[in-house]
Amino acid sequence: MNLKIKNLFNKTFSCELEQITPIAAHGSSREYFRCKCSGFTCLAAYNEDLKENLAFLDYASQLIEKGVDVPKIYSKDIDNGIYLLEDLGNITLYDMLENEKKGEVSFSDIKDIYYKVIGELPKIQIKAGKGFDYSNAYPRKAFDQQSIAWDLSYFKYYFLKLSNIPFDEQDLENDFKTLTSYLLSTDCSYFLYRDFQSRNIMVFDNKPYFIDFQGGRKGALQYDLASLLFDAKADLSPEFREELLNLYVSELKNYAEVEEKEFKDIFYAYVYIRIMQAMGAYGFRGYFERKEHFLKSIPFALANLKWLEDNITLNIKLPELHRVFQNMFSSKKLVEVSTKKLLVTIKSFSYKKGYPHDISGNGGGFVFDCRAIHNPGRYEEYKTLTGMDKEVIDFLEKEEDARLFFDNVLNITTQSVDKYVERKFSNLMICFGCTGGQHRSVYFAEKLSKILMQKADIDVVLHHVEQNK
C-alpha cells in the first residue's frame, strides 16, 4: 500500500516522498497516512469501498465549489482506492474538549469554535445544499423512511439485543412507525451532513473545517444540529446546548422562515433518532467488533437520553420506546460497561517483524526500544533462552543500564495508568521491542506486567508476540 501511495504522491507533486506515517482513524474502516516531503505534508486515504470513495470525492468537489471549508483533494487513484487530500493537522473539536478537561484549553476557546460551527451549519445545509447533486450518494440519497428504518433496526438489533434489554417487538415497531411519520412531517429537502459531530470537525488556524461528509443526503435541518449538540462524549452541558440551539435558530432566520416552537418540538424527535443511531453504532463496534472504546460512549449517551426523558415531552406517544429507555437506565449490563476496569495490554515484539497492531482501536500508548541495552542474545549460552528464563533475567539484572531504563519506563507508564484510570479510559497498550523479540523485550514486558498486576483497579494482559504467548 505504501508503494502505491508513494507512486501517486510522486506523480502529483514535484518532490519525492520522504516519510509516510499511519494515522489513527477511530471507527472508520478507512486508513489514513501523513505524507511528508521538503516541509510539505498531505494526507493519503485508502479505502476499499469504491462507492464510498466516489461519494466523498464528488461531495468534496461540490462543497468546495459552494464555499464550504472541507479538505482540498490533490489527486486520486480510484482503481487502488487511494486519494491525497489537504493536511489540516491533528486537532479536532473533540480533542479541544478533552484538552479543556486537562486545563490545556479554555472553555472560551471551545465556545468560540462552537459559535463558528453553528454559523457555518445553515450555510452548509441551505446555501450549499441548494442544487446539490446526490447522484453519487452512498448508501442512500435521502434520510427517508428506508434510512430511518435502517437506523432503528441498527438500534434494536445491535444495541438492545446485544445489551439484553427486554422489549415487545410489535409494540416497539408500532412506536417506530409513529416516530418515523413525525420525523418526516417536516421539510426534508436540505443537505443533511449525517455525521456532524466533534470528531469530524478539524480546528486549523482557529477555524473549523469539516470532514467525513460522504454519508450526506437530503434531509431535515434538525438532524445535524442534534448530532452536534447531543454528541455523546462531547458531554456538553444542557445550558450550553440550549444556548447553541437558540443561536442556531437565530442564524437560520437569515436563510429561511422559521416557526421557532415547531422547529424545536421536532428537533428533539431528531435528537432521539440520532442517539438511537449512535447507540446502534456503539453496540456494533463495541459488542460485535470488540472495539471496547466504543462501549465507553454508552454512559454519555444514556445520560443524554435520561435528560431527554426527564425534560422533553414530544407531541407523539411512544409508550413502548419510553419503557425500553427505562429498562436501559436500570440495566446491570450497561452499568458494568460504564464501570469496567482499564485494560493494560503489554507486548514484547521484534523490530524485524514490525510494530504490534492495536486491536482496541484506541491508539496511543508506549513503544519502548530496548536495543540500547546489552543483548544476552549475542552469547551462545543464551541464544535458545528467552527473557522469561532465570539465566537471562540474572544477566539483565546485573546491567546498570537495564535498571536505569526500567526505572524510567516504570515512572512514565504508572503516571499514565493512574491518569487513564482517573479519566475512565478503557485501553492502554505498552510495547517493548528488541532485535529478535526474545530476550530484552520479553524481560522488560514480564517485569512491568508483574508490577502493574498488583494494582486492583486495572486488568493486565501480557503477550509475547514472537513467543506466541
Question: How far, CA to CA in Å, does 386 sit from each of 177, 383, 392, 401, 451?
Answer: 63, 8, 7, 19, 20
CA distance 38 to 9: 13
CA distance 181 to 186: 10
| pLDDT for position 223 | 98
Q: Is the pLDDT of residue 231 over 80?
A: yes
Q: What is the mean pLDDT of residues 98-124?
A: 93
Domain boundary (21, 55, 86) is at 86
More confident residue, 105 or 337: 105
Q: Tell me which residue has cell 510539505.
A: 40
| pLDDT for position 468 | 65
Q: Is the pLDDT of residue 101 over 90?
A: no
Q: Tell me the pLDDT band of 335, cut-offs 50, 70 and 90.
A: confident
**3-state DSSP assignment of residue 161:** coil
Co-location of 202 and 125 in the same domain? yes
Q: Is the pLDDT of residue 469 over 60?
A: no
**3-state DSSP assignment of residue 374:** coil
- Cα angle 233, 234, 236 (rounded to 5 degrees) comes to 120
- Cα angle 429, 333, 338 (rounded to 5 degrees) comes to 45
Give this prediction's pTM: 0.75
Look at the alpha carbons of 235, 236, 241, 244 in this order and tell me if their dihedral is positive or negative: negative
Co-location of 145 and 59 in the same domain? no
Q: What is the mean pLDDT of residues 338-346?
A: 79
Co-location of 288 and 385 in the same domain? no
Q: Give residues with Cβ within 8 angstroms of 232, minimum separation 6.
A: 275, 278, 297, 298, 300, 301, 304
Question: How far, CA to CA in Å, does 232 sit from each of 3, 47, 137, 425, 454?
Answer: 38, 27, 26, 15, 33
Co-location of 81 and 112 in the same domain? no
Q: What is the mean pLDDT of residues 122-142?
A: 97
| pLDDT for position 359 | 63
Co-location of 387 and 304 in the same domain? no
Co-location of 76 and 107 in the same domain? no
Q: Tell me the pLDDT band of 39, cut-offs 50, 70 and 90.
A: confident
Cell representation of residue 408: 524510567
CB 180 within 8 A of CB 148: yes
Mean pLDDT score of the chain, rounded to an integer?
Answer: 93
More confident residue, 325 or 235: 325
Domain at 309, CATH number: 3.90.1200.10
| pLDDT for position 362 | 64
Q: Is the pLDDT of residue 245 over 70?
A: yes
CB 154 within 8 A of CB 288: no
Q: What is the mean pLDDT of residues 275-298?
A: 87
Q: Is the pLDDT of residue 290 over 90?
A: no
Find how far residue 153's CA is from the centre of its chain.
22
Q: What angle separates helix 169-183 from helix 260-283, to the nearest 10 degrees?
A: 140
Q: Tell me the pLDDT band of 25, cut-offs 50, 70 and 90.
A: low
Burial of 338 per CB tally in 10 Å (0-12, 13-18, 19+):
middle
Percent of the chain beyond pLDDT 70?
A: 97
Co-location of 67 and 154 in the same domain? no
Co-location of 194 and 329 in the same domain? yes
What is the tally of structural domains in the chain?
Answer: 3
Q: Is the pLDDT of residue 256 over 70?
A: yes
Q: Tell me which residue has cell 546491567.
A: 399
Nearest to 366 by CA among 350, 355, 351, 352: 355
CA distance 115 to 208: 10
Co-location of 333 and 419 in the same domain? no
Domain at 80, CATH number: 3.30.200.20
Over residues 176-201, the pLDDT tens digits come to: 999 999 999 999 999 999 999 999 99
Residue 441: domain span: 342-467
DSSP secondary structure string, 270-322? HHHHHHHHHHHHHHIIIIIS--GGGGGGHHHHHHHHHHHHHH---SS--HHHH
For 78-96, give one letter per residue: b (16+ CB within 10 A) or e: eeebbbbbbbbeeebbbbb
Domain boundary (321, 338, 355) is at 338
- Which of 81-95, 216-230, 279-293, 332-346 shows the lowest per-residue confidence on average (mean pLDDT)? 332-346
Q: Is the pLDDT of residue 380 over 80?
A: yes
Co-location of 118 and 184 in the same domain? yes
Which H/E stretch holds residue 347?
A: strand 342-350
| pLDDT for position 330 | 93
| pLDDT for position 459 | 84
**3-state DSSP assignment of residue 458:** strand
Q: Tell me the pLDDT band of 454, cut-offs 50, 70 and 90.
A: confident
CA distance 462 to 69: 45
Domain boundary (70, 86, 102) is at 86
Co-location of 79 and 118 in the same domain? no
Cell representation of residue 242: 440550549
Burial of 149 per CB tally in 10 Å (0-12, 13-18, 19+):
middle
Hey, what amino acid is at 141? K
Co-location of 75 and 112 in the same domain? no
- Which of 27-31, 66-70, 144-148, 453-457 shows the lowest per-residue confidence on average (mean pLDDT)? 27-31
